[in-house]
């Protein structure tokens, strides 16, 4: 099937906000009095805010009621938003913009597929919003990755079938979601974590449109 659309995750693919998520969760862990490492943070990538909090509390061996959870999640988001309020186009990861421009020139449709509720603000600050035909974010979906909802919604709103889409993801849960959606997927980052992707790249610096034809040919074991 010819690729007709690309669906991009946001945090860790388009910009390094994954790092700010980490710093914000770490600050909450500090305030609650336990350690939270970068390795721990891998488990939170691509995971919704409330599910991330559950994992964090498990790491800290804390049990709290639902109301307190909301307070903690708000606190983390406050710290996170303070970081991302200040970001600008210089935070776009290398190679992303030329790749988006090349995709548009080729007539490939482009969607954002992120479970973040802050996605719109980030895209605005990066001045990238106009590159996306469709934006699906945490305000529009009910099931976070690894559920395929976010990507299936993207394909639907772009009016393309899932098998004509390729997803770009930096998180294990996101690769899983793409596979469940019946889409091709490119992992951006560590092959040890993203091993199930059809192809893995370290970043977009040297990525050419020929990548799309390469992954069109990849067969997947089911």
Chain residues binding Mg ion by CB under 5 A are 9, 11-12, 46, 170-171
CB burial of 27-44 (b: ≥16 within 10 Å; e: otherwise) equals bbbeeeeeebeeebbebb
Q: Which is nearer to Mg ion, 162 or 187 (CB)?
A: 187
- Output the smallest distance, CB 58 to ligand G6P, in A: 15
48 contact choice in ligand G6P, Mg ion, none (CB below 5 to 8 Å, kind-dependent): ligand G6P
115 contact choice in Mg ion, ligand G6P, none (CB below 5 to 8 Å, kind-dependent): ligand G6P
CB burial of 178-206 (b: ≥16 within 10 Å; e: otherwise) equals bbbbbbbbbbbbeeebbeebbebbeebee
Question: Of 8, 52, 100, 185, which lies in the binding site for ligand G6P, with binding defined by CB under 6 A?
Answer: 52
Let me know: does 69 contact 58? Beta carbons within 8 Å: no
Taking CB under 6 A as the rule, does residue 198 contact ligand G6P?
A: no
Residues taking part in catalysis: 9, 11
Cα-only R_g, the chain: 17
The interface mask with ligand G6P, positions 74-113, x = CB under 6 A, is ---x------------------------------------
147 contact choice in ligand G6P, Mg ion, none (CB below 5 to 8 Å, kind-dependent): none
Under 8 Å CB-to-CB from 39, ≥6 apart: which residues?
Answer: none
Count CB neighbours of 145 within 10 A. Answer: 29
Stretch of residues binding ligand G6P (CB under 6 A), selected from 39-47, 64-72, 100-108, 153-161:
39-47
Taking CB under 6 A as the rule, does residue 125 contact ligand G6P?
A: no
Under 8 Å CB-to-CB from 135, ≥6 apart: which residues?
Answer: 111, 112, 119, 120, 123, 129
CA gap 169, 186 in Å, rounded: 6
Taking CB under 6 A as the rule, does residue 19 contact ligand G6P?
A: no
Taking CB under 6 A as the rule, does residue 140 contact ligand G6P?
A: no
CA gap 169, 7 in Å, rounded: 9
Let me know: does 10 contact 116? Beta carbons within 8 Å: yes
194 contact choice in Mg ion, ligand G6P, none (CB below 5 to 8 Å, kind-dependent): none
Question: Of 60, 95, 138, 182, which lies in the binding site for ligand G6P, with binding defined by CB under 6 A?
Answer: 138
49 contact choice in ligand G6P, Mg ion, none (CB below 5 to 8 Å, kind-dependent): ligand G6P
- Output the smallest distance, CB 72 to ligand G6P, in A: 12
């Amino acid at each position: 099937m010819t690729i007709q659309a690309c669906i991009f995750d946001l945090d860790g693919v388009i910009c390094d906000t994954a790092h700010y998520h980490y710093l914000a969760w770490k600050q909450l862990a500090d305030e609650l009095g336990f350690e939270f490492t970068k390795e721990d943070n891998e488990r939170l990538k691509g995971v919704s805010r409330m599910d991330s909090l559950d994992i964090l509390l498990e790491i800290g061996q804390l049990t709290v009621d639902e109301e307190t959870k909301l307070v903690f999640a708000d606190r983390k988001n406050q710290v996170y938003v303070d970081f991302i309020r200040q970001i600008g186009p210089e935070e776009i990861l290398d190679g992303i913009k030329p790749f988006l421009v090349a995709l548009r020139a080729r007539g490939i449709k482009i969607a954002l597929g992120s479970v973040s509720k802050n996605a719109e603000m980030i895209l605005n600050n990066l001045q990238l919003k106009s590159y996306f035909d469709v934006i699906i974010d945490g305000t529009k979906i009910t099931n976070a990755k690894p559920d395929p909802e976010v990507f299936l919604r993207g394909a639907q709103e772009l009016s393309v079938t899932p098998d004509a889409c390729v997803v770009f993801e930096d998180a294990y849960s996101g690769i899983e979601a793409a596979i469940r959606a019946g889409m091709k997927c490119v992992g951006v980052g560590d092959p040890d974590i993203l091993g199930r992707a059809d192809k893995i790249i370290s970043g977009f610096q040297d990525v050419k449109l020929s990548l799309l034809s390469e992954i069109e040919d990849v067969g997947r074991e089911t």
